[in-house]
Amino acid sequence: MSKLIVASLDALKKTMQNNIPFQIQRNLGYYLKCSFSFSKSANSKEIEDFESETNLKLPEDYKFFLSLHNGMELYKDVEESAPHWHIFGIDEILDALEKYPTPEHVYTIAKFDQTLICVNSDYVKDGKKGYLLDQSIYTSSHNDGDPLHLNFELWLDRLLVSQGDHFWLWNSITPENLNDYFS
C-alpha cells in the first residue's frame, strides 16, 4: 500500500466537495474552473494479464493506484476549452502503445495535451525508483524521453499540489525569459 497515494487522493476528494467544479490557479496567472472523475478499480487479474501479455512491468505504486482507480481525469475544464490530465487505466495503456510509438521498454500512463508521462519498464524491472519519463506526442519512437527522476506516487502528489501544472518545467522559466511567455 502506498500511504502517499492514499493521502494525496483523500485530500483531493475532500477538496472536491461532492465534485462541484472549483477554481484553480496555475503558474503564469492561468485560471481554470475544473472537475475530476475517477474510474472504478482494476482487479489483480487485469493487472497480471497486462504484465504477462505485454512483457512490461508495472511499478508497485502505480499498481496500487490501479487497484483504487483504473484511470482518472484531473483538472478537467468545465467549459472544455482547455486540455486536462488523464491518467490511464490498463486498457488505455494498451491503446496508447498503438497510438503513441515508444521504445519497446517504454509505455505511456498519462497524457495532457501533447505531453505524455511514460514508464521505463526496464528501470522498474531493475528496481530503480526514478522510472518516469516526460515525452511529447511527437517524440521519436527511438527516444525514451526526458527523465523526471520521480516515481508515480511522488509525481501524482506533486501534480495535485501544483494543481495540474507541469511542475517539472518550472525551473525553465527564469527572470530573463519570463516575458517570452506573455508574447
- Does residue 20 lie within any of the structural domains? yes
Element (H, E) at 46: helix 44-54
- In the chain, how many domains are there? 1
Residue with cell 482507480: 69
Q: CA-CA distance, 144 to 103, in Å (whole number)?
A: 6
CA distance 43 to 76: 26
Range of the domain at 82: 3-168
What average pLDDT score do residues 121-133 get? Answer: 97
Instruction: Identify which has the larger pLDDT, 35 or 87.
Output: 87
Q: Is 160 helix (H, G, I), strand (E, B) or coil?
A: helix
User: What is the rounded CA–CA span in Å between residue 86 and residue 76?
Assistant: 9
Per-residue pLDDT at 155 exceeds 80: yes
Evaluate whether residue 183 is within a structural domain.
no
Which residue in the block uniquely carries the three cell numbers 498503438? Answer: 98
Task: Classify residue 62 as exposed, middle or buried by CB count within 10 Å of its CB (0-12, 13-18, 19+).
Answer: buried
Distance CA 41, CA 47 (A): 11
pLDDT at position 156: 97
Predicted confidence (pLDDT) at residue 108 exceeds the cutoff of 90: yes
pTM score, two decimals? Answer: 0.92
Q: What pLDDT digit, counting tens, does each position of 135-153 carry?
A: 999 988 899 999 999 999 9
136 belongs to a structural domain: yes
**Is 45 part of a structural domain of the chain?**
yes
Cα–Cα distance, 163 to 31 (Å, whole number): 11
- The string of pLDDT tens digits covering residues 157-182 is 999 999 899 999 888 888 899 888 88
CATH number at residue 88: 3.40.1580.10
Contact 122, 102 (CB under 8 A): no
- The three cell numbers locating residue 174: 527564469
Whether the predicted pLDDT of 17 surpasses 80: no
In a domain, 182, yes or no: no
Is the pLDDT score of 19 beyond 70?
no
pLDDT at 173: 86
What is the rounded radius of gyration, in angstroms, for the C-alpha atoms of the chain? 17
| Residue 159 domain flag | yes
Is 19 part of a structural domain of the chain? yes
Whether 179 is covered by a domain: the verdict is no
pLDDT for 124 beyond 80: yes
Q: Is the confidence at residue 1, as pLDDT, over 80?
A: no
Q: Which residues does 83 contact at the CB level (< 8 Å), separation at least 6?
A: 77, 112, 113
Phi and psi at residue 182, to the nearest 5°:
-115, 15
Alpha helices by DSSP H, listed for 69-120, are: 90-99
